[in-house]
């Protein structure tokens, strides 16, 4: 399968005297789901920031294909002044919209509301919808189901995993049981 992400010997710290990680290497292919687990403050979200290009490594190399991300806090990923649909249409094709709406148990009329008019769970599902409609090669999942109840969590993770043939997924989670259930590899930092 096609490699969509490679971190090779990446070293990062906010200061050179206090490194979060040293010589970290991760590769991801289409069809793979890998989970990153670790204590709070260990650098899990920092890895995503490096992959997205928001931070630069002190050393090492990062190669990526087309990326989409699902954030833990959906309210931080939507602008409060525009409807959810406006923000989906700005970055994604609406092809497969109805299919994803059905799978995510999300009513289309909710997409025409402002983000604050949706519950946390509804907005998280809208965030997942937007990420999937972007048709990425890499899907970064930062605690993507934390705002959802247990039954919806399972449905969403199963739906995401059905799309592994078209992308690779990198999951940040504190839930070791979830990581063991869905991941091809668990990366502990």
User: Quick one: average pLDDT of 131-143?
Assistant: 95
User: Quick one: average pLDDT of 86-114?
Assistant: 94
pLDDT digits (tens, 9 = 90+) for 56-70: 999 999 999 999 999
pLDDT digits (tens, 9 = 90+) for 107-127: 999 999 999 999 988 998 999
For residue 24, is it left (φ>0), alpha (ψ between -120 and 50) or beta?
beta
What is the rounded distance in angstroms from the CA atom of residue 1 to the CA atom of residue 40? 33
Q: Residue for token digits 């050393």?
A: 59
Q: What pLDDT shows up at residue 146?
A: 77
What is the rounded distance in angstroms from the CA atom of residue 34 to the CA atom of residue 118? 30
pLDDT tier, 105 (very low <50, low <70, confident <90, very high otherwise): confident
Give residue limits of the domains in the chain. 3-82+138-188
13 in Cβ contact with 20 (< 8 Å): yes
Q: From the centroid of its chain, how far is CA 96?
A: 19
Q: What pLDDT shows up at residue 115?
A: 97
Q: What pLDDT shows up at residue 1?
A: 79
Reference 43, options 77, 81, 13; nearest CA is 13
Domain 3-82+138-188 maps to which CATH number in 3.40.1710.10, 1.10.10.10, 3.40.50.300, 3.30.70.270? 3.40.50.300
pTM of the predicted structure, to 2 decimals: 0.91
User: Quick one: average pLDDT of 16-26?
Assistant: 92
User: Quick one: average pLDDT of 120-141?
Assistant: 94
pLDDT tier, 174 (very low <50, low <70, confident <90, very high otherwise): confident
């Amino acid at each position: 399968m096609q490699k969509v992400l490679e971190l090779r010997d990446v070293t990062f710290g906010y200061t050179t005297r206090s490194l979060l990680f040293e010589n970290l290497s991760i590769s991801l292919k289409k069809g793979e789901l890998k989970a990153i687990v670790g204590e709070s403050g260990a650098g899990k979200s920092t890895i995503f920031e490096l992959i997205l290009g928001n931070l630069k490594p002190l050393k090492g190399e990062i190669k990526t294909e087309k990326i989409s991300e699902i954030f833990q806090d959906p309210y931080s990923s939507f602008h409060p002044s525009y409807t959810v649909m406006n923000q989906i249409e700005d970055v994604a094709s609406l092809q497969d919209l109805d299919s994803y709406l059905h799978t995510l148990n999300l009513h289309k009329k909710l997409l025409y509301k402002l983000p604050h008019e949706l519950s946390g769970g509804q907005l998280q599902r809208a965030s997942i919808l937007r990420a999937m409609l972007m048709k990425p090669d890499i899907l970064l999942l930062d605690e993507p189901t934390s705002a959802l109840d247990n039954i919806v969590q399972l449905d969403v993770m199963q739906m995401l995993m059905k799309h592994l043939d078209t992308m690779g997924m990198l999951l940040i989670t504190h839930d070791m049981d979830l990581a063991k259930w869905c991941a091809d590899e668990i990366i502990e930092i």
